[in-house]
Structure 1
């Protein structure tokens, strides 16, 4: 059994806030990854864990034929509206409902690591990607290059106790970790690239509302209560407040370009 039901409930709980307040900041990451994978007119692109569909919208603007899959019904609805003509489905990343060798490019932006079995999820990505096609896996960069690291730490303290040995949010940013993961799935790892994204909010209330929109934050809310999570997030990010009351967070992301 995969993780779709659990992750779908968590990431879909505040779908509109995610789409409007968080996802917009990932544009530079999506653009760089699509460039590296040569997504263009005529390409068939699949985004696994497509969220609210911004990466697919950008691929579609390049002339690609786009397909997306996500576990959260609310996010899928937004993605469908954003990508008219795209094939956006609700589903499980470990059981992709697509034929072998269907796509030129398969992407997973901060998604494969949420699978119950990430290696199996990546094996599915390999299966549906054409031979020698690209599979792109994006994860957080180094913790010391992520200004949201205090937020992640604060939320982490309010989550249920993890199983012994459970990886943290930056586990795949360690040297060689991402290459080893995709290698276990039979993919051929290529180059790793880093991209800095910037998340901006006009005030504290919007900052907290935006940062509560992730599935991880929702899990903390269900474990510790919304008041506790709001306070934890507010306290953690307050040092980033600018003189005009706005907030800005620069974060490193890394993506690995591998071959099927």
Structure 2
């Protein structure tokens, strides 16, 4: 059987949405965002939100480039179908948060010419029944925004590849301090399972914060935490403000050497003959 035929959960979109948006890729992206919104625990101002970088979204749509994904997301925002926000805990984190404007979407799909030719909404043919879900993508924040209080979420949580997540973080850790990988992995698994807010994206953000701290404070290698230590304390925070002191070397005070060429030499030209005789007589 060809690997290019359906053998994995496919991405999906209904034809009427593709027609309304005049672009099947945008329809698939909007459907995928809706999929993750239904599973998100990020609730702000009464709305569910999901957040990802453009690069992480691109992993879910591998036939598109990152720039194309950015352009499509921007277009959906410009059309009022997506609403963006920034609720990141770190001020320097500019990862965009998204939610769907369902009222605007209803107005769009209720417009003339958005129904299928027979007046009924039809799904794009795909393997299996209508319960087929979009393909889950690892290493995205929304992938892990599952409610841990339900048995369904517990089953989904068991499918998360914590080791694969950990390895992607371990690759970013300073190579000269990669000590205790097994202990670090165990700590990471424990941390991930400890609460619904302990997501891969949060761990990545915490690691970026620590690496930035090392850089802006010019931390000596010997003082950088060993890998096993950092992963055992993922929630630690670090000062992100540059040090007030500069790293320029301290200037040492240098005493100016005496310029003997400019000093008047001591001579005996001003000593009288009698005084000289007296002086010499002392040594006879």
- Superposition TM-score, scaled by structure 1 size: 0.28
Higher relative contact order (CA 8 A, sep 6+): 1
Structure having the larger proportion of residues in strand: 1
TM-score (norm 2): 0.26
Structure with larger Rg: 2
